[in-house]
């Protein structure tokens, strides 16, 4: 599961879900939504295995330039099915 977390200049945090929905109630909510929509529109078709991977990367790189956001971090769910190595 992919999740993007971001921080505004006042230290308020928000997140962008794997389905690219914004959960943020800060001063720049409208700017973040507009910036995200522009980035999604500019992103070309992604890899067939993960069509949103390019969009996630562009959000991390471009959202701070598009909006008053100071940091965007991509977090992936560390829990994965598979063998346990000891």
60 assigned to some structural domain: yes
84 assigned to some structural domain: no
Helix (H), strand (E) at residue 13: strand 13-16
Per-residue pLDDT at 2 exceeds 90: no
Cα gap 17→74, rounded to integer Å:
10
Mean pLDDT of 10-28: 93
68 assigned to some structural domain: yes
Per-residue pLDDT at 49 exceeds 70: no
Per-residue pLDDT at 81 exceeds 60: no
Q: How confident is the model at residue 52 (pLDDT cuts 50, 70, 90)?
A: confident
Looking at the whole model, is its pTM more than 0.85? no
29 assigned to some structural domain: yes
**Residue 75 Ramachandran class (φ > 0 left, ψ -120 to 50 alpha, else beta):** beta
Question: What residues make up the domain containing 36?
Answer: 2-76
85 assigned to some structural domain: no
47 assigned to some structural domain: yes
Q: What is the number of domains present in the chain?
A: 1
């Amino acid at each position: 599961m992919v999740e993007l977390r971001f921080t505004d200049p006042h230290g308020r945090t928000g997140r962008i879900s794997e389905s690219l929905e914004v959960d943020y109630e800060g001063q720049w909510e409208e700017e973040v939504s507009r910036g995200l929509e522009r980035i999604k529109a500019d992103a070309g078709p992604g890899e067939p295995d993960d069509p949103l991977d390019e969009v996630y990367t562009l959000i991390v790189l471009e959202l701070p330039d598009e909006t008053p956001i100071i940091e965007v971090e991509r977090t992936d769910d560390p829990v994965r099915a598979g063998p346990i190595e000891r």
